[in-house]
Amino acid sequence: MSNTIALYPLSNFTFSTKEAQPEEDPSVSARLQRLQNNYEDFGMRRTVEGILVVHDHGHPHILMLQIANAFFKLPGDYLKPGEDEIDGLKKRLDDRLAPPSNSQQFDQNHGIDNDWEIGDCLAQWWRPNFETFMPSIGSGTYHGFTLYGGRRSISYPFIPAHITKPKECKKLFLVQMPERKVLAVPKNMKLLAIPLFELYDNAARYGPQLSAIPHLLSRYNFIYL
């Protein structure tokens, strides 16, 4: 992908809602047990997420999901064994943000048929194990940890020296948004446009992965359309 990227204004995009997408597991312990079982059956978990960039008033913004008014995350999810990363990310973005296939309220003027353009892989994060620790705060992101129901799970932008079999690899891909697109948000989530200046050096609120995005994007020149 070119180092020069065209960004379209947030006002170009059409936002709607769709049925809620509840969490896959009823508790933290159930989630960890499922991850452990999947690791034993299929090996290291592979996750892909998209960095969706738009602009508002001439400043880059990242589209992020907010869950339970606290936890911020990029759209995406884990891949099936053997699934291609790019095709898999497009499918996960559709699962999370595409309007229902039977929706009749949108047409080509809304960009209903515009596809996701997946660009460079900007980062890899590695989870060394499935263990969690109990901090003294609620769910969200905090000081280098991703929190699940009040528990924190550590990931690194490298494989720690003592780890030979990491349990998860998460890749973050740049997604260049088309000129127009319909984004349907599950009713139990919010889709927020977070400015880069809010993310920068703000791991206390967004965690290390999201607060690093301004650094990851610094290699690109943006054209504001």
Segment 145-188, tens digit of pLDDT: 444 444 445 789 999 999 999 999 999 999 989 999 999 999 99
According to the model, what pLDDT value does residue 70 have?
78
How many CA atoms lie within 13 Å of 130's alpha carbon, on the beta-carbon side? 16
According to the model, what pLDDT value does residue 173 have?
98
- C-alpha distances (whole Å) from 197 to each of 9, 39, 193, 208, 214 are 17, 37, 12, 15, 8
- The length of the chain in residues reads 225
% residues pLDDT > 70 (the chain): 84
Residue 29: which H helix or E strand, with range? Answer: helix 28-42
According to the model, what pLDDT value does residue 134 have?
36
According to the model, what pLDDT value does residue 147 have?
45
Q: Which of 20-34, 90-104, 182-196 has the highest mean pLDDT?
A: 182-196
Residue type, 134: M
Q: For residue 144, name the pLDDT band (cuts at 50, 70, 90).
A: very low
Contact 59, 197 (CB under 8 A): yes
Q: For residue 137, name the pLDDT band (cuts at 50, 70, 90).
A: very low
Is 67 exposed, middle or buried, given 0-12, 13-18 or 19+ CB atoms closer than 10 A? Answer: middle
What average pLDDT does the structure give for the chain?
85
Q: Does the pLDDT value for residue 194 go beyond 60?
A: yes
Q: Does the pLDDT value for residue 190 go beyond 70?
A: yes
What would the mean pLDDT of 116-123 be, rounded to a whole number? 95
